[in-house]
Structure 1
Amino acid sequence: MHTHRTALTALCLVATAAVTLTACGDGGDDSGNKGGKKAGPKASATAKKEPFADLSGPQIIDRALKATTGASSLRMKGSMASDGGPGSIDLALDTKGQCVGSIGTQGEGSIDLIGKGDTVYMRYDAAFLRSEMKGEPKAEVDGAIEMMADRWAKTTTKGSEKKEFAEFCDLKTVLADFEDTGSVARKGKPATVDGVPALTLHETDGKDRATLYVATEGEPYLLKTVNEPGTGKKPDTLVLTDFDKPVKATPPQGDVLDLDELQD
């Protein structure tokens, strides 16, 4: 479980966030055994169709993380409450450095992001700029807001000090913490995430609890994680969709502020 918390924490740093959650429901159990009769051929066939019947919880998690980190693109949407939140993230990204979406923190504004190759486009709102410039003279804060708020700006990611921008849009970097697990997950009940059949798995670490949802049809992608920190805070929730779908990162047109030129 520790690994999944680390991954969510990494996402919080990328996007400290507020929440749009995808509902998930438990599936029913149908044993097919009525009137005390022994299970017949139909019941045996049903048993054989049980997802991941021959795998342990940790083995399922290993497969899920391998499939997820092997995706060429995906979309992540959810909330991070335990580290700097509550906040929200809705970002599609791929392994080629393309991304499009938004990240933000409640009460401290948000950023729209478009990543295309070596260039990242950002659009800050006034609340975010004000939060980032806490402690600065009011005149400077007001000037930055007048110049940049709700306006697209761009910067290249080639300089070492700008690599953090590239990491927002690099799927391999974002999912790096998913690759080494050491899971002790227990199997749970069937469920669905956005209509996709899944199996729930549960992990505990002291008072902390995590529930993970793994697809049972097609690739065993990790579809959803819910981390309950056990401190009375709202859980961290992340939903993953749109695996291997193209990311349409179209650069904004018109009035785009070039931050690199301002720094020259």
Structure 2
Amino acid sequence: MRANRKLWAAATVCVAVIAGATGCSKGDDKAADPFAGLTADAIADKGVETTKAATAFHMNGTGKTDGEEMTIDFAVDDKGNCKGSMKAPSGGTAEIIGTGGTSYMKGDDAFWKSTGGEEGASSEESDSMSALLKGRWMKMPKESGAGEGGPGAFCDLKQIVKGMDEDTPRKGLTREADADVDGKPAAVLTKKDKDETTTFYVAKDSEKPYILRVVTTGGDEPGTVTLSDFGRPVSVTAPPKGEVVDMEELMKGAS
């Protein structure tokens, strides 16, 4: 009887958790590999094309620019909405939001002092910029909006996925042992080029094989970027006009 009670207790636990934990099920059933029969290059193609079709995602990561580390953390959707933050290589942190085709940036003193003014600006000019924007949002000039290098590119989903499409190698990849990214199973693909290695983590999902993470080691610009929250819309409200400095208007006045 005592042995039977132990057996019933174990069975009850197994039924309760349903998940088929070790000791509750026969065998070790594994989910079928959605990429079975595909080359690493073909998996990369699927990952890039699926991610390009996403209507929104969250992106965070760190990387080096000119030898200095930069950090980004933001969400963006295909309606031109975005919000997040960035840490400049030379110091300071800034918030970034975008809505209705307009982008805004609000930095702390360290950020504006390290990035304010044109290249080669004096410390006085940088201090002046910091004082002007203290506690206020800078409305991005149109020419500094969408497009490569412009701050507004953070809010341009098409530009982001275009860059991903162009920068992701599709030839000569090798599939390594699978891994997890924040609890999600992923196929791991690597590409080695001279002193640089790029590793892609593609979700093992037959319907939505998104790129979950990209890691670059070696080379001039190492870094890691993680993508999540695919398809989740971004809710943004433009800052009050009284808290905004329109840089385009200021530049017109200066000229």
Task: Give distance in 2, aligned partners of 1:230 and 1:135.
Answer: 28
> Which of residues 205, 216, 239 in structure 2 aligns to 1:227?
216
Say whether the 8 Å CA contact 2:136–2:245 is kept in structure 1. no
C-alpha RMSD of the superposition: 2.5
Deviations 1:160-198, CA, capped at 9 Å, x for gaps: 465434422111101213324433211111211111111
Contact 1:104 1:111 in 2 (8 A): yes
- Within the alignment, does 1:207 sit opposite 2:195 as a pair? yes
- In 1, the alpha carbon distance for the partners of 2:65 and 2:196 equals 11
Distance 2:243 2:127 in 1: 20
**What is the count of residue pairs matched by the alignment?**
217
Quickly say closer, same or farther: Cα 1:103–1:92, change in 2 above 3 A.
Answer: same
Look up the SS of the partner of 2:95 in the other structure: strand
- Structure 2's unaligned 5+ residue stretches are 1-26
Displacement after TM superposition at 1:51 (Å): 3.6
User: Which residue of the partner structure matches residue 152 of structure 1?
Assistant: 137
1:80 matched residue in structure 2: 63
**Following the alignment from structure 1 to structure 2, what is the Cα–Cα distance between the partners of residues 148 and 114?**
16
- Tell me which stretches of 4 or more aligned residues in structure 1 moved more than 6 Å: none
| Alpha-carbon displacement from aligned partner over 1:142-171 (angstroms, at most 9, x marks no partner) | 2221221332232463xx465434422111
Contact kept, 8 Å, 1:121 with 1:153, in 2: the verdict is: yes
2:161 is matched with: 175
Query: In 2 relative to 1, CA 166–135 (structure 1 residues): closer, same or farther, beyond 3 Å?
Result: closer
Structure 1: give runs of 5+ residues left out of the alignment: 1-41
User: What do the CA deviations read for 1:116-167 (whole angstroms, capped 9, x no partner)?
Assistant: 012212102222222224643444332221221332232463xx46543442
**C-alpha spacing 1:250/1:84, structure 2 compared with 1 (3 Å):** farther
Q: Is the Cα contact below 8 Å between 2:176 and 2:188 reproduced in 1?
A: yes
> How much has 1:81 moved relative to structure 2?
2.1
Residue 247 of structure 1 is matched in structure 2 by 234
| Rounded Cα–Cα distance in structure 2 between residues aligned with 1:138 and 1:210 | 39
Instruction: Indicate if the aligned counterparts of 2:74 and 2:83 stay in contact, CA closer than 8 A.
Output: yes
Contact 1:122/1:153, CA 8 A, preserved across alignment: yes
The aligned counterpart of 1:121 is 104
The percent of aligned pairs where both chains have the same amino acid is 33
Distance 1:220 1:183 in 2: 18
The answer to whether structure 1 residue 91 and structure 2 residue 69 are counterparts is: no
C-alpha separation in 1, matches of 2:65 and 2:98: 27
Residue 81 to residue 150, structure 1, CA distance change in 2 (3 Å): same
Larger radius of gyration, structure 1 or 2? 2
Q: Equivalent residue of 2:231, what SS? A: coil
**Alpha-carbon shift at residue 240 of structure 1 (Å):** 0.4
Question: The residue matched to 1:177 in structure 2 has which SS?
Answer: helix
Return closer, same or farther for 1:161/1:204 CA change in 2, 3 Å cut-off.
closer
Q: Match of 2:126, as an amino acid?
A: V
Higher relative contact order (CA 8 A, sep 6+): 1
Q: What letter matches 2:188 in structure 1?
A: T
TM-score (norm 1): 0.73
